[in-house]
Amino acid sequence: MNDLTTINLQLNSLTVYRTLLQDETVARFARVLSAAQSGSFALFLESYGAFLQQLSMESGSFYFAAHMEQLIRFDDNAFTRAAAQGGRSEGYIALRNAASFDLEALRAVASISFKELSTRVLSSANEQESSLVSRMPEYIAGSSRLFDGSQDVISTMETFYRMNGYGVFAKFGAFRWDHALLGIPQPDPIRLSDLKSYEYERGLVAANTKDFVEGRGGGNMLLYGDRGTGKSSTIKALANEYCSNGLRIVEVTKDAIPQFPAIMERLREVPLRFILFLDDLSFSTDDAAFSALKSVLEGGVVVRPENCRIYATSNRRHLVKETFSERSVDLDDVHAGDTKQEKLSLYDRFDQTVNFFAPDQAQFLAIVRAIAHEKVLQVSFEELDRGAIQWAIRAGGRSPRAAKQFVEWAAAQLQKGASILEE
């Protein structure tokens, strides 16, 4: 049913997926349809050229069907939200029927070929115009798996939304909060297999995360310890590990902590689970973010949603910077001891604290050897160890980060035939 008039009517009658019409590529394709119907050769060429230009800019190719599939997968509408919840809402059947109608219309749009589009204008074209059309680049239609006719489109999309969520939550696995939820297109791809040593500490974080993802509770976590020991990398790697199981990570800066109520309201009804990630956390004594985080951890006015957990990292055990002046007795504070304990005990509000301490020399060298083995460095263990020890001294200490930096430097040195040892 690839009659241009019918397809144009179907496109203009979209309901739940109507926001797709706001996509500039789809809008330009609609103008191509209208131009083809009009039979105007000049208008057809102009609108078709504009369509191809926009398609290539947005998709990096001429795969129109693939572009349409991406729009459908990541659309945020009443049906996608209801399907992500498992289709349990009242009125879901009506939404599903409307979505099915839209998807069939979109399949027809994505399947129409350049040859079908140009037939009407070619019927009245002269030889020169026909030759021009025959040399024009063609977009690729109907090549997407969703539109190749082998799948029940509505059932396929129901499954996708149920497993991946809807809208930006289906499109991105990682987010940051900057007065609004913003997807991170290229998050750190680190995996657990990339991390060396600290199996016990990492296992505690992994077990808590697994419980959270599988609906068995899981608590707020503080990862405390020396710099470069893999605290942040552990959290990011676990987020990547469980992304396909419905886990998402939201990076929240310290300045945004007072916005936690807005963040949690944004995520409360989303049928996925979220780690709210606070990296390298520390507070001054009069920091407004201190009270805001304490309130959230203790369950203040805004109740934390069951689908959210807070994971924080810090180099400070008590999270609050203490100055020498604060160690003197404050004569105006009758309960100075209580005040001090209040400032220093925020870490107690986390359900679980995991310590990541700097490795001793043997552990550090084991990490270096493991990374070097993965990179297939052609060097003896003795030379590698000596170089690593020298590097740690220059770097100001031993850590997994220092080990990785050394191996990357050593690989570059060896590649150009240089020594990895100090003279």
Distance separating alpha carbons of residues 289 and 254, to the nearest angstrom: 7
| Number of neighbouring beta carbons within 10 Å of residue 377 | 20
- Which amino acid, one-letter code, is at 273? R
pLDDT confidence of residue 274: 98
Given this model, what pLDDT does residue 289 score? 86
Calpha distance 237→230 (Å, rounded):
10
Round to whole Å and give the CA distance between 3 and 214.
Answer: 49
Q: How many CA atoms lie within 13 A of 175 on its CB side?
A: 25
Q: Are 234 and 191 in contact (CB under 8 A)?
A: no
Give the sign of the dihedral formed by CA 123, CA 126, CA 129, CA 131.
positive
State residue 70 phi and psi, 5-degree precision. Answer: -60, -45
Per-residue pLDDT, 342: 55
Q: In degrees rounded to 5, what are phi and psi of residue 354?
A: -120, 130
Number of separate helices (H) and strands (E) present in the chain: 18, 7
Instruction: Please list the alpha-helical segments (H only) found in 282-380.
Output: 288-298, 336-344, 361-374
Alpha carbon distance 116, 111 (integer Å) = 10
Three-state DSSP class for residue 410: helix
Strands 247-251 and 273-278: parallel
- Measured from the Cβ of residue 133, the count of other Cβ atoms closer than 10 Å reads 18
pLDDT given for residue 150 in this prediction: 62
Query: pLDDT of the chain along its 423 residues, tens only?
Result: 458 889 999 999 999 999 999 999 999 999 999 999 888 888 999 999 999 999 999 999 999 999 999 999 999 999 999 999 999 888 999 999 999 999 999 999 999 999 988 887 888 778 888 888 889 999 998 867 777 666 789 999 999 999 999 999 999 999 999 999 999 999 999 999 999 999 999 999 999 999 999 999 999 999 999 999 999 999 999 999 999 999 999 999 999 999 999 999 999 999 999 999 999 998 876 678 888 888 888 877 667 899 999 999 998 766 776 554 555 555 555 445 555 565 556 778 899 999 999 999 999 999 999 999 999 999 999 999 999 999 999 999 999 999 999 999 999 999 999 999 987
- Tokens for 84, please give them: 């992500």
Instruction: Judge contact between 200 and 225, C-beta under 8 A.
Output: no
Q: What is the pLDDT of residue 337?
A: 54
Positive or negative CA dihedral for 29, 30, 36, 41? negative
Q: How many CB atoms lie within 10 A of CB 21?
A: 12
pLDDT value for 305? 92
Beta-strand relationship, 181-183 and 174-177? antiparallel
Amino acid in position 266:
R
Q: What is the pLDDT of residue 1?
A: 42
**Bridge partner residues of 249 (DSSP):** 174, 275
Q: Please tell me the predicted confidence (pLDDT) of residue 328.
A: 52
Please enumerate in sequence order all residues whose Cβ is within 8 A of that of 117, keeping only pairs 6 or more positions apart, or say none: 4, 32, 33, 36, 44, 48
Contact 390, 422 (CB under 8 A): yes
324 CB burial (10 A radius; 0-12, 13-18, 19+): exposed
Residue-level pLDDT at 335: 44
Give residue 324's pLDDT: 46
Domain ranges of the chain: 4-166, 183-356, 361-415
Q: What are the backbone dihedrals phi and psi of residue 14, each rounded to the nearest 5 degrees, phi first?
A: -60, 145
pTM: 0.88
CATH of domain 183-356: 3.40.50.300
List CB contacts of 122: < 8 A, sequence separation 6 or more.
129, 130, 133
How many Å from the N-terminal Cα to the C-terminal Cα in the chain?
78
Strands 247-251 and 174-177: parallel
- The pLDDT of residue 144 is 72
Q: pLDDT at position 119, please?
A: 85
**For position 322, what pLDDT does the model report?**
58
Q: Rounded distance, CA 69 to CA 278, Å?
A: 35
From the centroid of its chain, how far is CA 240?
A: 9
pLDDT at 390 (0 to 100): 96
Structure tokens at 43: 């208008």
